Chains A and B, each alone.
Chain A
């Protein structure tokens, strides 16, 4: 299939530029698609789309509350709508508009949050987004999906614009993303993907940080530890079945996310474990509820314990304590 050829190119381009390319494919199949933005066409890789399909592109200016309202209005008149801007402004800036227009009224749009997580750490925490999942998760009728790489974004977008509710798509990492999915696979919102089947330890991650998880698992294998690696791309709805299965067959679950450990993937997994009285240890790796001094992506990953080395260390420490 064509997309598999694109995997390498997309990973070089990163999520944002790939989004722009994927948009060109989406519009070809969905003439009733409108993409709305808040003055970020270039950042979202949409310049070609904007030139080629001016009637299917609406820039509302730097006004995110209006972005959601206009998008909901278009959706209520039968258009398929994707709104996009940087993650903090796509979510928290217009949070109540999302609640009322998309959650409460159930107007359906697909929101794409650009450069979420820590990738814009050099710009400071105004531009990082470590709260978006937690805030949106508390609003009914909104699915939250964190694609692990551009190929998954491609699969996700096709499903998301026809999904039964609004969807928040959280894009992480910059250019040269890790390739998480190198061959074709089945993707479905709400269904986790087991990338590596191991034993005793399971690493559950979402977003491009899964690249670090995969590297860590390879290193651990050399030390005789074989962790499973699970791509829990959908935070809401979450794949309860998979979590229960993992809990049953492992002693330790490690969740890894570029998000505050309050309210994100780890919390969602913990809720499932406690609901079903699972007796499995859970370690949540993520932003430990503080704003660090800003810096590069790798610097912040290290600070927050999300680097390959820190993930390995965490697993080893837990296993040592176990023994």
Chain B
């Protein structure tokens, strides 16, 4: 796998994210959390997952991706454009009246969206159900979930983590986008997550902690086979708003409007 291809894919995702947010105008968009997960999503779609567009039907054997932190949907939509599930033009319908592409993903298997997400704390339970189903049906696809760190405030996350380990789901990969922020402040201010790695490990997961923007590291960590009978957890240390100096670690860009002036200015960062 050429790391450069993955990097290029990530760049395209970032480009699509800010393009969509800019086109959304005053409707505004979740920007920071989409950009922090951009590299993770990029590596999954361009280097890891079996996930190809079929003209006739939904491929039953494709890997399943569940964006539990649904507000980062711009990263998902952007990847789906690059994988030809969506057209670039579709991005301009983001949050428009009657659109398929709202501010949180809506289930649309033909277009590559496995589940509706956005109400936090629910995606991993679905993933556990899907992973159990895969085992029962002896299917070889894997299920990848991205959780937000703020999302880990939800008790339901820990119900599902407990069950993922209990059911020995070694076909399940959980990635935590650890950008250290949530809607109105830093994790430590709002609800301190303390040592996430320790938490997941003590729940029985094989837990790794990596730089969530180092493409090669992400790739290698995802490529690593799950330990037998264990779900794999990757705590990906990221930067909210990553890729654009104006947005990085600036929580005002959790959900905001990109004006024409700002759009022109930040394009230079690409």
Q: Which residues of A contact B134 (CB under 8 A)?
A: 77
Contact B162 A77 (CB under 8 A): no
- Interface size counted on chain B using CB atoms at 8 A: 27
Question: Quick one: CB contact mask for B154-170 with A, threshold 8 Å, 1 for yes?
Answer: 01100110110010000
Question: Quick one: CB contact mask for B115-143 with A, threshold 8 Å, 1 for yes?
Answer: 11001011011111111111011000000
Residue in B107, B119, B125 whose beta carbon sits within 8 Å of that of A66 in the complex: B125
Contact B116 A100 (CB under 8 A): yes
Q: List 20 interface pairs A-B (beta carbons < 8 Å), by A numbering.
A: A61-B159, A63-B162, A63-B163, A65-B159, A66-B128, A66-B163, A69-B122, A69-B125, A69-B156, A72-B125, A73-B128, A73-B130, A73-B131, A74-B129, A74-B130, A74-B132, A76-B129, A78-B137, A100-B116, A105-B107
Given A61-B163, A101-B122, A104-B116 in contact, is the A76-B156 Cβ separation under 8 Å? no
Contact B159 A71 (CB under 8 A): no
Q: Which residues of B contact A60 (CB under 8 A)?
A: 159, 163
Closest CB in chain B relative to A101 CB, distance in Å: 7
Given A65-B155, A66-B125, 12 further pairs, Cβ under 8 A: A55-B136, A58-B132, A60-B163, A61-B162, A66-B128, A69-B128, A73-B125, A73-B129, A73-B133, A74-B130, A96-B122, A104-B116
Please give the residue numbers on chain B whose beta carbons come within 8 Å of chain A beta carbons, in ascending order: 107, 114-116, 119, 121-122, 124-134, 136-137, 155-156, 159-160, 162-163, 166
Q: Which residues of A contact B162 (CB under 8 A)?
A: 61, 63
Interface presence of A49 (CB below 8 A) = no
Q: A34 CA to B130 CA in the complex, in Å? A: 13
Interface presence of A173 (CB below 8 A) = no
Q: Which residues of A contact B115 (CB under 8 A)?
A: 76, 105
Q: Which residues of A contact B128 (CB under 8 A)?
A: 66, 69-70, 73
Q: Which residues of A contact B137 (CB under 8 A)?
A: 77-78
Residue in B130, B159, B166 whose beta carbon sits within 8 Å of that of A76 in the complex: B130
Given A101-B122, A105-B115 in contact, is the A69-B166 Cβ separation under 8 Å? no
Interface presence of A79 (CB below 8 A) = yes
Q: Which residues of B contact A73 (CB under 8 A)?
A: 125-133
- Interface of A, secondary structure class, is helix
The 5 closest A-B pairs by CB, nearest first: A73-B129, A69-B125, A77-B133, A63-B159, A66-B159
Q: A61 CA to B122 CA in the complex, in Å? A: 17
Closest CB in chain A relative to B265 CB, distance in Å: 38
Contact A100 B122 (CB under 8 A): yes
Q: A74 CA to B130 CA in the complex, in Å? A: 5
Interface presence of A68 (CB below 8 A) = yes
Interface presence of A90 (CB below 8 A) = no
Given A63-B163, A77-B137, A96-B119 in contact, is the A69-B130 Cβ separation under 8 Å? no
Closest CB in chain A relative to B71 CB, distance in Å: 14
Q: Which residues of A contact B116 (CB under 8 A)?
A: 100, 104-105
Q: Which residues of B contact A177 (CB under 8 A)?
A: none
Q: A75 CA to B128 CA in the complex, in Å? A: 12
Q: Which residues of A contact B122 (CB under 8 A)?
A: 65, 69, 96-97, 100-101
Q: Which residues of B contact A61 (CB under 8 A)?
A: 159, 162-163, 166
Q: Which residues of B contact A69 (CB under 8 A)?
A: 122, 124-126, 128-129, 156, 160
Q: A78 CA to B136 CA in the complex, in Å? A: 11
Q: A66 CA to B128 CA in the complex, in Å? A: 9
Closest CB in chain A relative to B112 CB, distance in Å: 14
Q: A66 CA to B161 CA in the complex, in Å? A: 10
Q: A66 CA to B160 CA in the complex, in Å? A: 6
Contact B129 A72 (CB under 8 A): yes
Q: Which residues of B contact A63 (CB under 8 A)?
A: 159, 162-163
Q: A31 CA to B130 CA in the complex, in Å? A: 18
Q: Which residues of B contact A78 (CB under 8 A)?
A: 133, 137
Closest CB in chain A relative to B12 CB, distance in Å: 29
Q: Which of B122, B131, B137 has the most CB of A within 10 A?
A: B122
Contact A71 B136 (CB under 8 A): no
Q: Which residue on chain B has the smallest CB distance to residue A76?
A: B130
